[in-house]
Structure 1
């Protein structure tokens, strides 16, 4: 039996030798002839063997070879067979593709062709979660054959960028733009492999646990607390207001400190990072702004009264915008604290809302308005609108405009006025009519009276006023922006009608807003 085994082994070696020699013309036909006393490699193979399998090297004077160096640096001196014409050697587990170097006492002979292997790379484990910029560890077998790792979003890391790599373990840094997902390995060999690990890598993202404080003034310090905040590249307050990491006061894994921009508005805070995954705060950041709660006296006389505004955070006010007057700087206030502002009401002040500009340049409404004393115009002989439409007439829809007959923003007196917003198409607004009712008799009256207030951009523009009887009776009236103007137009200017059926105010091809109040006929 022993002789039979030896016989079989001998024949196997002969077959391998013949195979290698048969490959010689293809694998190493380019090797140069050498002197008979020198060691030379003629061929080796077979190609595509696996680790732990044998290769045979054919040449001359190979008995002088003391060791063979496999790539990258694996030296083998234990040969299975060794003769002047051949060497039978087992491919070590650590071997990688490359040329072989045969060493003698006087020579180092490098093969002209490379040894390529069929390598069954296997993955045993991968770090389950990691933060971008940190290392993950991959364990398995033949990992030194891995050429690249592909993270989600097709981010490839080549082996030259691996932190460490050996047969059983490799370490790689997670790219900053990586996202949670499967990672794919690409391995070399005679049959290159591309395969994914069966579990996803969880890539950690920033986490917001708190905004401190939750209510903050412009240009004061905000601290964002949480985890993985060192990944944050930008903090967004609104679509066009943000701060990049280079402008943070401080940044660590658990906190970001920054100065709130002067243009920030109330809302949720969004964190951006290198990966396209944004993180939004669960609650809103409140921007502390001036707020008025009361104004005294209840009605104010321009040029006479000292006005006191009470509220909160009024120390942020750099100036007030008073209707009819314009800007009043804080330097002109009589007194100024966080809880109150006192100033003399200018003579030019008129009815309307008060706005502010903060010391940080942010503007907004204070929540209070200038209210002038009653006009003292007295009751109309035939009222058509005083806080509401008189029952003798009905509300019309108008055209190319929007009319609000119960608007509380800007009354001339009382609580309501008519707000008309024109679209610029010669639209009719503040339309009143007797549709389905009897015409309104205006006997005994001498003038058509009404009050008109021009909104932004309307100064000097005109309205075509129609006081209709059985025919249209029209005339142009001129608007004054930001002020109430009381009109009394003689009835004779409208043809001295005995009764009327309709009234409307028509723009002359411009857009804007006007207010109409205290409308009717009088002596």
Structure 2
């Protein structure tokens, strides 16, 4: 009888154990209402030689293009994640009952008073929501219609995320905003300006801020020992020393050792004229020689706009300083199009050729081995610090 009672006891214990294990297995498989404990960052944001910032940090707001993880329970059967009503991508291969990883696409609406500012997870067994704010990216400037001009000129700035625009400045001088959309701004060039970086400032529920630009072509440095290098810079509007704006300034002038340069009133970057030069053959040269204001240092750049004549697309010009043919910066022409260049003095320097302290000649040498024509406008020296 005692043995029968023992057998009965162990049978009941086994059934209870199976029931508990079954229940645990059921919960582990996500067969229940989902819950969210927190949202955390995934990738390390910064580090120094002294310390590493923890990448597993709880957050209630996110940035476009960044990956985050949801921590909770019963998440393995997730069907969708939405933020502000828009579906976002999540990696089902990395999903578990307690974690989900998702990234914020460019289509996610930035949080404001008109958005729900909510993240919602929908699973096979229900849904759960938690507050989550999407930061508005800082504004980005893609193009500016002209990078030099006079007070009162109307400039068009194109770019991204100009929502909540609060101002545009040239250096420290505010500009008058005439029109604006999330991608296009027109402004009036302020008076009293010589040179300055263009900045666009926005305000948002979260995020926004100050954006500068655009990034300007700097050409390809052809350094000694056949080394090439490219160093781009953020554009500066105007000049610290103007060389050519409809006419030569400050005593500067030009000449060439092939066909002579001429004033062009048809191919213009802006204003009333540019300078046009026709190469008569391969390796011909066009030279601009200095007057005053020719001192340069590591914080200055040569700035100009160049236009490719007929048949010049892909043709190369090497820009050489002070007849030092050991180093140069290669420019590429595009037929029928103006290209803005801003080339830091450092682009002409390497271990064997220190950066010059002055500009004694700007030599534009044909480097494709044939005759061609180009125009050049808005030439000057600017401070890029």
- TM-score bucket of the superposed structures, by smaller chain: 0.3 to 0.5
TM-score, with structure 1 as normaliser: 0.26
TM-score, with structure 2 as normaliser: 0.35
Tell me: higher relative CO, structure 1 or 2? Use CA pairs within 8 A at least 6 residues apart: 2
Which has the higher Rg, Structure 1 or Structure 2? 1
